[in-house]
Amino acid sequence: MKRAASIFGQLSLAVAALALVASCAEEIALQTAISGTPRPPYEKMGLTMFPGNRTAGSLAAQMSDIKSLKVNYIRATFWFDTSYMSSNGAQPSFARFDGIVNAAEAAGLDVLPILGYVPNWLEGDANWKTVFINDYVIPVVSRYKGRIKSWEVWNEPDEFKFNVLNGSADDYFDLLQKVSAAIRATDPSAKIVSAATANATSDGITKWEWLQRLVDLGLSRHADVLNIHYYSDMEIEISSIGGPTVRDAGMPVWITETGKSGQSAQKSYFDLNMPYIDKAVNPERIYWYCYVQGEGRDEEVNPAESYGLIAYYNGLRYESTLYTHLKTR
All residues at 6 or more sequence positions from 114 whose CB lies less than 8 Å from its CB, including other chains: 75, 76, 77, 78, 152, 154, 155
Instruction: Provide the terminal-to-terminal Cα distance of the chain, rounded to the nearest Å.
Output: 53
Looking at the structure of the chain, the number of domains it has is 1
pLDDT one-digit tens code per residue, 121-140: 999 999 999 999 999 999 99
The model's pTM is: 0.89
Residue range(s) defining the domain that contains residue 315: 2-328
- Between strands 316-319 and 310-313, the pairing is antiparallel
Q: Specify whether the CB–CB gap between 59 and 103 falls below 8 A.
A: yes
Domain CATH code at residue 100: 3.20.20.80
Rounded Cα distance between 270 and 281, Å, is: 16
Contact between residue 151 and residue 188 where contact means Cβ atoms under 8 Å apart: no
Closest listed residue to residue 159, CA positions, set 112, 113, 218, 117: 117
Residue 203: what pLDDT?
86
Q: Which residues contact 169 (CB under 8 A, 6 or more apart)?
A: 158, 210, 211, 213, 214, 217
Nearest to 178 by CA among 138, 144, 120: 138
As separate numbers, helices (DSSP H) first and strands (DSSP E) second, the chain gives 13, 10
| Distance of alpha carbon 325 from alpha carbon 40, whole angstroms | 12
The residues near 97 (Cβ < 8 Å, ≥ 6 apart) are 78, 113, 140, 143, 144
In order of 65, 85, 217, 230, the CA distances from 255 in angstroms are 22, 30, 21, 7
Tell me if the bond preceding 290 is cis, omega within 30° of 0.
yes
Amino acid at 237: E
State the pLDDT at residue 268.
Answer: 96
pLDDT for res 170: 98
Strand partners, 152: 114, 193
Provide Rg for the chain, Cα atoms.
20
Decide: 263 and 321 in contact? Cβ < 8 Å.
yes
Residue range 305-317, pLDDT digits in tens: 999 999 999 999 9
> Any residues with CB less than 8 A from the CB of 63 and at least 6 apart, and which?
74, 103, 104, 106, 107, 109
Closest C-alpha to 48, from 71, 28, 32: 71
Q: Residue 139 has what pLDDT?
A: 98
Residues of the chain with pLDDT under 70: 1-37
Pairing of strands 285-289, 45-48: parallel
